[in-house]
Amino acid sequence: MNWNNVTIGMLQQIAAYKTDNPIKRAAHDISVITGTPLEVINKWKLNELKSSKFNFLTKLPNSSLKYTFKHNGRRFKLIKNAKDMKAHHFIELQEVVNDDIISNLHIIIALLCNRVNIFGKEIEDDYDWKVENFKDLPCPQFYTYAVFFSLLFPKLLTATQNYLKENQTEENQELLDGLVSLIDLQEVDEQSGI
């Protein structure tokens, strides 16, 4: 067994379980990953519980970042650039990221990917389907992407705010220039008696 056997939904169950007891933690995590009832695992001997096939749980998932993936017969592409995001997804992402990233990982991935055809061209997407089905995605790649994204997101927000302020300033300046021109025309008209 390794992290590739763990889905986003399993990771969320593991993260949600709170205990300071390492034996309870190990039993719970193994139960979630193997689908074995906790009552059965509680009867295991300690050496079974600490066996090498579950050692991967002591390390964080790590995987190379791939931007395209298939899930349940559908193709998806992770968004590499915030400019490619839909505005309402960016707004929702701001709200979701403020909560726990692990518990919202399936939603974050749904917001940060688009459905594509076999040629990689974006096609009609079903956001609700993604949220509903992305708990079944294998954890490592998407955990890596979420960590990468969470480190990048504050910088992205700052850049977006600066961009909007600059555009707002430019628009205000254009509006101000237009008003000045209009006032100048009115003064010329008044002086000429028109």
pLDDT value at position 66? 81
pLDDT number for residue 5: 85
> What local confidence, expressed as pLDDT, does residue 183 receive?
46
The pLDDT, as a whole number, for residue 58 is: 75
Per-residue pLDDT of the chain (194 residues; tens, 9 = 90+): 788 888 999 989 988 999 999 889 889 988 998 899 999 999 998 888 877 577 777 777 777 778 889 999 999 998 877 677 777 787 787 777 777 778 888 998 898 889 999 998 999 889 899 999 999 998 887 877 776 666 565 555 555 555 555 665 555 555 555 544 544 444 444 555 55
DSSP-assigned states of every residue in 30-94: HHHHH---HHHHTTS-HHHHT-GGGGGGGS-------SEEEETTEEEEE--SGGGS-HHHHHHHH
Among 64, 1, 65, 70, CA closest to 29? 1
Q: Which domains can be identified in the chain, with CATH numbers?
A: 3-58 (no CATH), 68-157 (3.30.2220)
